[in-house]
Amino acid sequence: MYFISTRGNEKVTAAQAIVQGLAKDGGLFVPERFPQVTKEELDAMIPMSYAERACFVLSKYLEEYDKAGLLAACEKAYSKFEGKDAAPLVRLDEGVYMLELFHGPTCAFKDMALTLLPYLLRAGSDMLGVKEQILILVATSGDTGKAALEGFRDAEGIKIMVFYPDDGVSKMQKLQMCTQEGGNVNVVAVKGNFDDCQTAVKKIFASEECKAQLKEKNTILSSANSINFGRLAPQIAYYFSAYLDLLSSDQIQPGEEVNFTVPTGNFGNILAAYYAKRMGLPVGKLVCASNRNNVLTDFIRSGKYKTEGRAFHKTMSPSMDILISSNLERLVFELSGRNAALTAERMRDLSQKGCYEISEEERQAMQKEFFAGYATEDQTVECIYDLFTEIGYPMDTHTGVAMSVARDYFEKEKDDKRNMVIVSTASPYKFPQDVLYALTGNDVKDSFKGVKRINALTAMAIPASLAGLRDKPVRFRKSVPVADAFKEVLKFLE
């Protein structure tokens, strides 16, 4: 299996795509074809563990990776999760389920991929004979940063540096990153929002001057953001796993379609569901849930992607506070009939003019696959409160957005009787102040008081990784202008 750029003629192996991260022309790597999973293969996956299911799905794309080594890596990665199942499916109501993706080391869905990515990168580097030190550069809106730092902590031959928006993550997310252990890690705040962080990192990747300076330090770049296919691929697996869990518990019949609602900002999580569908998984509608930064909602409804003149909102679901959704480029590439020149033109228009528009035919094709909606802050709070009051199930703020949009879908599409799986992306304890406010109407200034009060109210176990945060020393306090990002990279490598 080879991988091609969304913007040009570059064609690479899976190992090259993962080690390189971003195509040389600035495009994203996509598989040259979507491997298919047959009904017989789905049946064979039912009794498998989550690690075995993940290995099976990944091996469809990563053909040159040793399958035994890949399975061992999956088993090692998912053994770090609390409980026997890395991605449990919880029944909420008749035909409505919650896919819990927050049982990993950092209590967010990014763990599903970032516990495995270090192996994919190391094995890929070995296959390619890479001798240089690898520098992982990450822009984060909150969860990717911590998950990547933890995944690559003290990894041999690898350094990792994370940029986050100075005032754009929750207090718990910031504390998770700034107390990170490891001799090969660095965390720097950027005076701006997530889009500023992401743009700064992309510019470094695209700059030949930056690459030349890094080469002098015997260092090459790679990425742990979902622009890297090695980050995206493991996420495909949990959609298969959720479907298989519904099958094994007789909630659905073989071949029956299932809908998914996914809270998304950078479009990677829901794109993984789309890829699963392209592989043959019986997926019905993909419901794209946004917060007030609803650029994706507008795009899916209108076919026009516009950031120019759009206000950026800081919300209680900060991991979705994004206006430039990088992974959308992969979907736009597919909608265009895999027209790399047209995709490159559209991405240039977005960069230079702040907008682009797809054709009416493409828009209609997109709307057959996707439904889009968004939730305001008040709607998110109301939904978190309602679900807990009704069935005693606590949600984080991002999952609250998803549930609110799912309820909107149920109301508007009453004839759609397919089962709905809502993707829960983080533990409520990662956003304790906002969750406590949603549940009780009470404000607390201290995150750890919020954790204790949520625990007393819900009896939901506090993840060990969050419980011990209060006593960890803060290692990283630096905040810099966006323009100084690469200077900080060079300082880190000194």
Contact 437, 331 (CB under 8 A): no
Q: Does residue 306 belong to any structural domain of this protein?
A: yes
- Residue 324 pLDDT exceeds 90: yes
Q: How confident is the model at residue 143 (pLDDT cuts 50, 70, 90)?
A: confident
Q: Does residue 75 belong to any structural domain of this protein?
A: no
Q: What is the pLDDT of residue 142?
A: 80
Q: Does residue 194 belong to any structural domain of this protein?
A: no
Tens-place pLDDT, residues 388-413: 999 999 999 999 999 999 999 999 99
SS3 97: strand
Helices (H), 88-192: 111-114, 117-128, 143-152, 171-178
Q: What is the pLDDT of residue 167?
A: 87
Neighbours of 223 (CB within 10 A): 24
Q: Does residue 157 belong to any structural domain of this protein?
A: no
- Residue 225 pLDDT exceeds 90: no
**% of the chain with per-residue pLDDT over 90:** 95
Compute the Cα dihedral for 151, 153, 155, 160 and give only its sign.
positive
Quick one: CA torsion of 176, 179, 183, 185, rounded to 10 degrees? Answer: 50
> Stretch 271-275: mean pLDDT, rounded?
98
Q: Does residue 364 belong to any structural domain of this protein?
A: yes
- Residue 482 pLDDT exceeds 90: yes
Prediction pTM value: 0.95
SS3 85: coil
Q: Does residue 130 belong to any structural domain of this protein?
A: no
| Residue 406 lies in domain | 86-107+230-465
For the chain, the domain total comes to 1
> Annotated catalytic residue: which of 24, 39, 80, 110?
110
> Stretch 474-486: mean pLDDT, rounded?
96
Tens-place pLDDT, residues 347-400: 999 999 999 999 999 999 999 999 999 999 999 999 999 999 999 999 999 999
- Residue 488 pLDDT exceeds 90: yes
CA–CA separation, 166 and 174 (whole Å): 9
Tens-place pLDDT, residues 185-223: 999 999 999 999 999 998 999 899 999 999 999 999 999
User: What is the phi/psi pair of residue 164, to 5°?
Assistant: -135, 155
Contact 262, 286 (CB under 8 A): yes
**Catalytic residue flag (residue 110):** yes
Q: Does residue 405 belong to any structural domain of this protein?
A: yes
Q: How confident is the model at residue 141 (pLDDT cuts 50, 70, 90)?
A: confident
- Residue 168 pLDDT exceeds 90: no
**How would DSSP label each residue in 120-144?**
HHHHHHHHHT--SEEEEEEE-SSHH
Q: Which residue reads 């606590």 in tokens?
A: 394
> Stretch 472-485: mean pLDDT, rounded?
96
**% of the chain with per-residue pLDDT over 70:** 100
How many residues comprise the chain?
A: 494
Pairing label, strands 2-5, 29-31:
antiparallel
Angle among Cα 134, 140, 145 to the nearest 5 degrees reads 60
Residue 91: CATH number of its domain: 3.40.50.1100
Q: What is the mean pLDDT of the chain?
A: 96
CA–CA separation, 182 and 160 (whole Å): 10
Q: Does residue 122 belong to any structural domain of this protein?
A: no
Tens-place pLDDT, residues 59-86: 999 999 999 999 999 999 999 999 889 9
